[in-house]
Structure 1
Amino acid sequence: MMSEVLYTTRWNDLTRRPLAGHSWITPDEARRRYDEAQGLEIVDASTRDEDGTQRPLWVVGAHGRFRVELLTPGGAVARSVDWDLVDGRLWRWVTVEYVYLDDDTAHVDSDATLELTTTARPDGTASFSMRDESGESHVTQFDDVATDGYWLDVPAFGEWGPLVNATLGAATGPPAD
């Protein structure tokens, strides 16, 4: 179980606090919301600034489906992984990796100099796209992709490790077929 996390219903990555009108919630309330699929955001709280503000390494949105955002030291999204619920298990559907000029600035996604996106489906079809800083995209389609590594069991409340494992959903190149 990961103990250095905070829970909220809506997270603001720019302020590193709950969105206006939302607040931190207790682990008991978070567990209830998770069990009832009411929507929850789990924020890594293992690292903090000198003023005590969390500088999360990752944020997980749990809304029946899951979105995991792995963050740079500056707070920009380095990798986003969308997990869809398919037949009671999680399927790594879309993975986007963002490359910026530096890792110390809170860039927005559109600042990325390179964006690598892998989209995969349980039937073995997939696509890989690369968008460079000029905005030009190159897309490749795949059939018969091995899908074993795209599945994950739905985690029990508090067991966020498999979801935020930085090696899951890596979009370092096209899917292997």
Structure 2
Amino acid sequence: MTLPVHHTDQGWIVAYTGRWVESTLRPFPGESWLTVDEARQRYESELGVFETVEASTSNGTELTAPRWVFGATRREMIRTQFFNQALSIIASITYTGHDGQLFLNQRSDYEYPDAQTRYTRSNATQIVSSYYKTDGTGYFDVRDNTTRQTQSTAFKDADFSSLWFDWPAFGDWDVFANPENGILPRDFPMTPL
């Protein structure tokens, strides 16, 4: 069966499904790849779970090495996961719906023993997580899984206006495909707690 792909106006090549399994690079059992029209209808009607998989490296019938995937749950939450060439998740970004907009409230970055082997997140040697709240508070966690040590830093008084996004129209996936979202500059103004 040919993998139905969508060439978006922004230049992305993507495939759509209800839910997919990252270990097999295929839709969840009982799900199938959606046509562009089916995907558009599901996204715009806000019915259930909707996943978009970057598909520029597909071989025409299946995915081979997607760079990212995002899943949307109605208008409540979107999570994007980014992969390295070995298909290990290297970043996960979560957006939640607030009054018709999206707020980036969590970002995690994963480091592994090497970039040539496919690892699960539980095999990460280090996980750096950032948690942001709409009131300008949040915290950072740096967990070293080799020593089982975690360093946490809480903060307040942060201006998170750059973490708000409009819900995109169907096919306008640039917001979710940006692996830099949620990375704050070193000199980002905030008050440590």
Q: Do both proteins adopt the same fold according to a TM-score greater than 0.5, normalized to the shorter chain? A: yes
Verify: 1:16 aligned to 2:64, yes or no.
Answer: no
SS of corresponding position for 1:31: helix
Aligned-partner residue type, residue 53 of structure 2? V
Compare CA radii of gyration and give the structure with the larger one. 2
172 and 56 in structure 1: CA distance in 2 versus 1, 3 angstrom threshold: farther
Q: Is the 8 A contact 1:83 1:91 kept in 2?
A: yes
Query: What is the deviation of 1:165?
Result: 0.8
| Distance in 2 (alpha carbons) for counterparts of 1:114 and 1:159 | 32
111 and 84 in structure 1: CA distance in 2 versus 1, 3 angstrom threshold: same
Listed as ranges, the gaps of 5+ residues in structure 2 are 1-8
Query: What is the deviation of 1:141?
Result: 0.5
The answer for the alignment partner of 1:30 in structure 2 is: 39
Aligned length: 177
SS of corresponding position for 1:43: strand
Q: Percent identity?
A: 33
Query: What is the deviation of 1:98?
Result: 0.4
The answer for the alignment partner of 1:159 in structure 2 is: 172
The answer for the alignment partner of 1:170 in structure 2 is: 183
The answer for the alignment partner of 2:95 in structure 1 is: 83
- TM-score between the two structures when normalised by the length of structure 2: 0.85
More moved, 82-91 vs 45-54: 45-54
Matches within 5 A, 1:26-175: 26-38=35-47, 39-48=49-58, 53-63=63-73, 64=75, 65-133=77-145, 134-170=147-183
Listed as ranges, the gaps of 5+ residues in structure 1 are none
- TM-score between the two structures when normalised by the length of structure 1: 0.92
